Amino acid sequence: MKYHVTTFGCQMNEHDSERMRGMLEALGYAEAPSRGEADLILFNTCSIRESADSRLIAHLGEAKRLKREDPERIVGVGGCWAQSLKDEVFERFPFVDVAFGPGQVNRLADFLLSDSIGAQGYFEFESFTGDLPAKRGREFQGWLQISVGCNCRCSYCIVPSTRGREVSRALDVLVEQARSMAADGVRELTLLGQNVNSYGRDLRPVRGSFAELLAAIDAIEGIERIRYTSPHPKDMREDVVRAHVELRTVCEHIHLPLQSGSSRILRAMRRTYDRERYLDRVALIREHVPDVALTTDVIVGFPGESEDDFEQTLEVVEQVGYDGAFTFIFSPRRGTEAASLSEGLVAHEVKVERLERLVEVVQRRAHERAQRFVGRTMEVLVEGVSRTDPMRMRGRTRHNKVVNFSGLALPGELALVDISAATSQTLVGEERIATRLLVEA
Ligand code: SF4
């Protein structure tokens, strides 16, 4: 039996899809190169923004056609969109056979092994997909899910309702899993959670901490790099920041979502920090890790956002000087507090205009920041052939900057690359062949 998985959304969904593949292959399924060649057609969905919903529905149209051609085919929908609609999935898309939330990936196996004839939905927050076998996209890079859910209540966010309350996985389970991933060839490990730096607070009888987890994984032989996403500024404590200096493998990159530079809008978003507290965290990070790469998330057009509020966002972005940013236009999500706001709604064309002005500042500052790498030799984890030039290889520095370079290094290797140029997005360079030949000798 062949399966095909289409993944939408965040890294947590990428991780869940790796687990879905691992679980299905443990059941004897094989991956099909296209939906048309699959007996089991799966979608791992996202519901963060309206655009995600409309894109999915377009893909579901093809699944409907394929199911009509061969009624034996099974169509399954997992992830946040499925969780947000629950049984409504079957009312709106009667050709769907199974639907399951992010905490129920394992139940897909139950459905496939059962001789159920009717459509089945599984929407309880039960288990960690991280406990399932994984089929990784790259042998040398792996995701490690450290917790599920989120206890925050950001007024625009659907995640707490689709992924439940924060539950941390036990420290010894994570260390054991990281050790076996290292033994399996993983060199770069990304720790995943909706709010990674509040890891361990719910663990009993002994509370854990994120800094403790970082130190435990840093000690594992074979792990060369640790990354993590996504932290929350309110929980960015000094022990986590210092880990970037004191622990060899913790990379010099921190993603610190801002969302808005206006304390008034941050309050309306229920982000639990204000502009001063955010900038204080940035100052703490730069004090301990001066060369750190800082990236962020920013939403424009939140209900009530005035021109002055937006100007304050531009000021913070200018002042911080991010190495990169994900920028979004606010879109109301069903079931969130912000979706019921009716005062001060920002017109779409104003949102678009503000997004353009924000992107201009982000890219200009990112370009300026990237120049600090020109003339330096950077350690690059090679990921494959460059997407823009087949004669070059592609990889990432510890700062999470993409590098396109000429050299002999192969995917999975750590290469030393002399950086000759930088744009806001990528660096260009040449591998130090001499060093490589010395190392190989
Ligand atoms: S911290 Fe806020 S934005 Fe992030 S997942 Fe939790 S509720 Fe959503």
Counting residues of the chain whose pLDDT is more than 70, the rounded percentage is 97
Q: Name the average pLDDT for the chain.
A: 93
Centre of ligand 1 from the C-alpha of residue 231, in Å: 10
Residue 130 confidence class, pLDDT cut points 50, 70, 90: confident
Domains of the chain, earliest start first:
2-122 (3.40.50.12160), 136-251 (3.30.750.210), 374-440 (2.40.50.140)
Give the mean model confidence (pLDDT) for residues 165-181.
95
- Which two structure tokens, joined as six digits, stand for 219? 């000690």
Take atom 2 of ligand 1 and give the residue whose Cα is closest.
154
Centre of ligand 1 from the C-alpha of residue 235, in Å: 12
Does residue 200's CB lie within 6 angstroms of at least one atom of ligand 1? no
Q: Whole-angstrom Cα distance, residue 194 to residue 145? A: 10
Query: What pairing do the DSSP bridges indicate for beta strands 141-145 and 40-45?
Result: unpaired
Least confident of 102-106, 250-254, 381-385: 102-106
Residue 334 confidence class, pLDDT cut points 50, 70, 90: confident
Centre of ligand 1 from the C-alpha of residue 188, in Å: 25
Counting residues of the chain whose pLDDT is more than 90, the rounded percentage is 80
Does residue 47's CB lie within 6 angstroms of at least one atom of ligand 1? no
Confidence at residue 241, expressed as pLDDT on a 0 to 100 scale:
98
Does residue 194's CB lie within 6 angstroms of at least one atom of ligand 1? yes
**Confidence (pTM):** 0.93
Does residue 213's CB lie within 6 angstroms of at least one atom of ligand 1? no
Give the mean model confidence (pLDDT) for residues 322-331.
95
Q: Does the pLDDT value for residue 218 go beyond 70?
A: yes
Ligand 1 atom with minimal separation from the 270 CA: 2
Centre of ligand 1 from the C-alpha of residue 153, in Å: 7
Ligand 1 atom with minimal separation from the 163 CA: 5
Confidence at residue 9, expressed as pLDDT on a 0 to 100 scale:
87
**Per-residue pLDDT tens digits for 117-129:** 678 888 877 667 7
Centre of ligand 1 from the C-alpha of residue 333, in Å: 13
Centre of ligand 1 from the C-alpha of residue 384, in Å: 33
Q: Does the pLDDT value for residue 298 go beyond 90?
A: yes
Does residue 157's CB lie within 6 angstroms of at least one atom of ligand 1? yes
Does residue 404's CB lie within 6 angstroms of at least one atom of ligand 1? no
Centre of ligand 1 from the C-alpha of residue 257, in Å: 10
Ligand 1 probe mutation, 47, 194, 296, most atoms within 8 A of CB = 194
Confidence at residue 436, expressed as pLDDT on a 0 to 100 scale:
66
Ligand 1 probe mutation, 46, 147, 150, most atoms within 8 A of CB = 150
Q: Does the pLDDT value for residue 146 go beyond 70?
A: yes
Q: Does the pLDDT value for residue 136 go beyond 80?
A: yes
Confidence at residue 133, expressed as pLDDT on a 0 to 100 scale:
84
Centre of ligand 1 from the C-alpha of residue 90, in Å: 28
Least confident of 40-54, 300-314, 349-363: 40-54
Sequence-separated (6 or more) residues with CB below 8 Å from residue 255: 229, 230, 231, 294, 295, 296, 297
Confidence at residue 58, expressed as pLDDT on a 0 to 100 scale:
87
Q: Does the pLDDT value for residue 347 go beyond 70?
A: yes
Does residue 338's CB lie within 6 angstroms of at least one atom of ligand 1? no
b/e 300-326 (16+ beta carbons within 10 angstroms → b): bbbbbbeeebbebbbebbeebebbbbe
Does residue 299's CB lie within 6 angstroms of at least one atom of ligand 1? no
**Per-residue pLDDT tens digits for 360-385:** 999 999 999 999 999 999 999 999 99
Give the mean model confidence (pLDDT) for residues 140-164.
93
Take atom 4 of ligand 1 and give the residue whose Cα is closest.
194
Does residue 232's CB lie within 6 angstroms of at least one atom of ligand 1? yes
Ligand 1 atom with minimal separation from the 194 CA: 5
Q: Does the pLDDT value for residue 40 go beyond 90?
A: yes
Take atom 8 of ligand 1 and give the residue whose Cα is closest.
157
Give the mean model confidence (pLDDT) for residues 66-73.
94
Ligand 1 atom with minimal separation from the 259 CA: 3
Q: Does the pLDDT value for residue 50 go beyond 70?
A: no
Give the mean model confidence (pLDDT) for residues 251-268.
98
Centre of ligand 1 from the C-alpha of residue 197, in Å: 12
